[in-house]
Structure 1
Amino acid sequence: MAGSPVPRKTVRIGVMMDNVQLMDVMGIDLFGNLSREYLDMVKSEAPPELAPLLDGFDHHQVDMEFLYLAPTLEPTPVTVGLSYVPNMTYDDCPRDLDIILVGGPLLSHRPPQADKFMKEAWTKTRVWLTTCTGSVWLASTGLLDGKKCTTNRGFLATAKRIHPEIEWLDQRWVIEDKPYDGTDGKGELWTAGAAGAGLEMIAHYCLQNWDPTFVSTVSLYGVDMHPEGSRGQFYSP
């Protein structure tokens, strides 16, 4: 008698977006486009000419859960006058997520709940991604000391001044190892420059970690992104 099917793993993604530049966290949509929920929705209403592109990807769908974090569950501001309703506080959020994305707030935004969360989740969550000044926010915990990182190019001089213990690189994004207590791979730290570089960084992360044909067809095609033609990790000379 055949055994029971192995349950699919749900990828849990924590998004630190309180008081950040909205564009910094838009890469979550590239993740979301890979989800079972999104693909089922698109397939249900796809025009006839699009349907053939989506055939055969059912076994690639990813079960995902997004945790939108803030110090409280009250409506919380981001830029352009927008507020979101968090579905998890920093205090209550599990520390052992799969991915944490840190957007870039002003340098004065340092809620103690976020500081505690980052310190406690650092070795329990395998993959950390930052965009813009999100790396400076994470650096304020001391967790990035001795690592190679980047941030918004306009903030590099400031980052070097206030966190000289970090090796700040003038790159679009930087990939480093990080401590990780789990057994399902090595810890990864991806830090990006400004929001555009962050979006491309997340596209490259997705291409490396899921089937690239699935990622290109279902996530990137619909938003007209072509990472293969991008500048990659480095700024043009």
Structure 2
Amino acid sequence: MAQRTVLVVLFDGVQSLDVTGPVEVFAGAEQHTPGTYRVHTASLDGAAVRTSSGLTLVPDGTLADAPGPHTLLVPGGQGTRRPDPRLTDWLRTNASRAERLVSVCTGAILLAEAGLLDGRRATTHWAYCATLARDHPAVEVDAEPIYVRDGHVSTSAGVTSGIDLALALVEEDLGREVALTVARHLVVFLRRPGNQAQFSAQLAAQTAQREPLRAVQQWITEHPADDLTVESLAARARLSPRHFARAFRAETGTTPGRYVDRVRLEHARRLLEDTGDGVEEISRASGYGTPEAMRRAFVKALGAGPAEYRRRFRPLTH
């Protein structure tokens, strides 16, 4: 098996965890299976860079002298807000050398600036998705998933999602057992599915301004197995169903039904990850009623049924 070179681009204002998270994954895989990965870091002039948190990273050399990469990894950080034109020029000219192009967080902005995401589906940190879509209309921006893979180009959301994506790439290259071993060492999930939402149902929706609606949001979160029809929730808010549905959407940015779906999915995921309860018990506790109803919801949202989700994404601390 040929060794894969992972070239990590460094620049002033880079987010340190965007760099170190994926690097630890690839380095861990190399330790487990020697000869599989060579991680090389480089900046434009080979000088040390100062990260957004104040840490200093010393690269292995210059981008001009860097070895030809199998995987070119572009992290994000504050330095992507006003990128050095020399860096985007280098990416535009040299990215085609890589068999695999990867960005973490706002590294997607650098790829977009270089024209490398035109016509592709991509994501970035949720706070910058609107900016990416506005400034680069040729990019199909998806703000929901933690990472997106479109051909040989992979983009991930904020910070720790770079670890998820790196684990997925290791699993693709070396198999599940190696990725599992690396994940255990890092005390993380084997990997979250790429289409898992970037944030929870409670964070994805806005908090309602009016007290009756805020109270209903909290009730949904605490009682996912209860009757959560629009009629029942409207009665709790002391509003007509039509008025409630209209007000809920206006204040939270989502419909009551979609909010309930997200809460139930999140509740079921946590039970699968954190408990040994059976699927039938979890389906009742999460408001699905039957295992089949929960399975359909999981497949639609996550691309995997509950049993498969538990097998692949359970915590790996033991």
- What letter matches 2:55 in structure 1? L
Cα distance in structure 2, aligned partners of 1:161 and 1:232:
24
* Largest Rg, 1 or 2: 2
More strand per residue:
1
Paired position in structure 1 for 2:161? 197
Can you give the 5+ residue segments of structure 1 that lack an aligned partner in the other structure?
A: 1-7, 40-59, 178-187
CA RMSD of aligned residues (A): 1.8
Give the superposition deviation at 1:105.
2.7
Give the whole-Å Cα distance in 2 for the aligned partners of 1:175 and 1:63: 22
Matches for 1:12-161 after TM superposition, within 5 Å: 12-18=5-11, 19-25=13-19, 26-35=21-30, 38-39=31-32, 60-94=33-67, 96-106=68-78, 107-161=80-134
Code of the aligned partner of 1:173: Y
1:86 & 1:231 partners in 2: Cα distance? 31
Q: In the alignment, what sits opposite 1:181? A: none
Q: How many residues end up aligned between the 2 structures? A: 195
Query: Cα offset for 1:197?
Result: 1.7
Distance 1:63 1:195, change over 3 A: same
Residue in 1 aligned with 2:172?
Answer: 208
Q: Percent identity?
A: 21
Structure 1 CA distance, aligned partners of 2:48 and 2:196? 37
Give me the whole-angstrom Cα distance separating, in 1, the residues matched to 2:165 and 2:60: 26
Match for 1:233: what amino acid? N
Larger RCO of the pair (alpha carbons < 8 Å, separation 6+): 1
Question: Tell me, what secondary structure is at the counterpart of 2:168?
Answer: helix
How far apart, CA to CA, are the structure 2 residues paired with 1:102 and 1:158? 18
Gaps of 5+ in 2: 201-261, 263-318
Tell me by how many angstroms 1:124 deviates. Answer: 1.7
Give 3-state SS (helix, strand or coil) of 2:160's partner.
helix
- Greater percentage in helix: 2
- The list of structure 1 runs, each at least 4 consecutive aligned residues, that deviate by more than 6 angstroms after superposition, is none
Distance, in Å, in 2 between the alignment partners of 1:91 and 1:205 is 26
In the superposition, the TM-score normalised over structure 2's length comes to: 0.57
Q: Deviations over 1:78-134 (max 9, x none)?
A: 12211112212122224x310011110334342233223212222221111111100
Q: Is the 8 A contact 1:160 1:166 kept in 2?
A: yes
Q: Which residue of 2 aligns with 1:172?
A: 146
Tell me the SS of whatever aligns to 1:132: coil
What TM-score does the superposition give when structure 1 sets the normalisation length?
0.76
